[in-house]
Structure 1
Amino acid sequence: MFYWLMKRVLVGPMLRLMFRPWVRGLENIPGDGPAIMASNHLAVIDSFVLPLIMDREIVFIGKSEYFTGTGLKGRATAGFMRGVGTIPVDRAGGKASEAALRTGLKRLSDGGLFGIYPEGTRSPDGRLYRGKTGVARLALESGAPVIPVAMVGTDKAQPIGTRIPKPLRIGIVIGEPLDFSRYAGMESDRFILRSVTDEIMYSLMSLSGQEYVDIYAATQKARLAAGVKNSGSASPNPTAPGGRPVPDVQVPEPPQAPPPTSLD
């Protein structure tokens, strides 16, 4: 109930007015049944914008810090995240991350949509970073299809370090479902998990037009924080996930407005 109240009454209308989201591929989201919505991650608002354009409820994983804040603002943030069904995850890994994945599996077994950011954290510079294999484990253990989602322009509306986003138009491109049933029962094979993850990331690269960097986003952030110069800089030989050929794609543009109709 709180999810739909936030989407349709309290927050949704304001976000639609601010961002005027355009979308392609909405027909690729199934009308029912479980599916994993695997998205690139450019800004905090990604988790708020994607649900706007969907008729079904989607639940995301969120960093545990959102649930542990103090003071009025911290309690309000925690209450909002719980209200919209966000699942806390400790990004340090270990048992906490395992518990979050198990919760995601429960969501999928109940026939719901589960949202995940395979990069594990926001991109520090708008590029696409190496995916973590948790998304592959979810796919193989649940048997649910993976639907790649490319957020476009959310990093321009809300650059890292910006709390209040700017009113800019943003987009969502939704790809065709990816079926990994051929790997059923192989979720303990780390090579299979890496192959599945790279296939998902390649699809995200193809949809978003982002440059790919074959390191984890968290590693890049740590290097930048340590003052490492030219860390993860553009390579003269661009790469793609899993050593695949680099797709010849560009960042998607919003649809063109139709020309005015002549009355003559």
Structure 2
Amino acid sequence: MAAPRVALVTGATQGLGLALVEGLARRLTAHDTVYLTGRHLDRVNQAVDALPGGGARVRGEILDVADREAAARLAVRLGERHGGVDIVFNNAVMRVGPDDDPRAIVDDYAEVNNFGTTRVLRAFAPLLRDGGRLIVVASSLGTLHHLAPVLHDRFDALASLEQVDEQVAAWRDAVKDGSARSGAWPGFVNIPSKIGQVAAVRALAAQRREQDTERGILLAAVCPGMMNTPTSGMWWDVSGAPSPARAAVALLDLALEPAKPGHYGELVREGAVLPWAPWR
């Protein structure tokens, strides 16, 4: 019998995160465990209780990625409980609407979407077992194609997660003090944020590539594509877009099917790599 597998999804009380938990539970076995995590205990418990039975066991855990120590604390607990993890989806996100003032929300936005991502990467990468998957849910906006060329070197070929955090902090501060508005930064805060997420995956992958390749581990960012959700509906017409459950299928395939070497450290959408930069 294969060893029990352990999976974890952040930001999993609704939308895509919840669909990922449900899909993992359905496609794994009764010997396996899927952790559904979120910031609020009541929402976590309600989400767990509402899931259909069968398949893997689903357990709820509190995880607020904006808490600087929360990911590390949970990683320690799961390491002690299971000895390691097999699948991690970093899906936690703070959403922004068209009427939000970027200067007013960028602190919290970067704390969840970007520093939350690097915290999860730092905490759970060391726990990955052979054949493990560590996947950051990002966007097709997370490439340098969507950033002015003068800003490309801010995020290209960064050597560490610390360097990524420094560049994200510099962008955040420029939004707060208004200098981003008069510079080359895009007005839509989602673009630099998603680029920062993909840059974090690329930086960690550059450090771990050799050992991860030997152990069959996949570290990647993934774009789920446009989904029919209330948040997306504030920006675009999503009436014809797939549901979160449908969008989750390609992400689950990436996590559960044999890894393709070309996906390592890249941004993947529907099984294809999205080029990081115009010159690549």
TM-score (norm 1): 0.39
TM-score (norm 2): 0.38
Q: Which has the higher helix share?
A: 2
Larger RCO: 1 or 2 (CA < 8 Å, sep 6+): 1
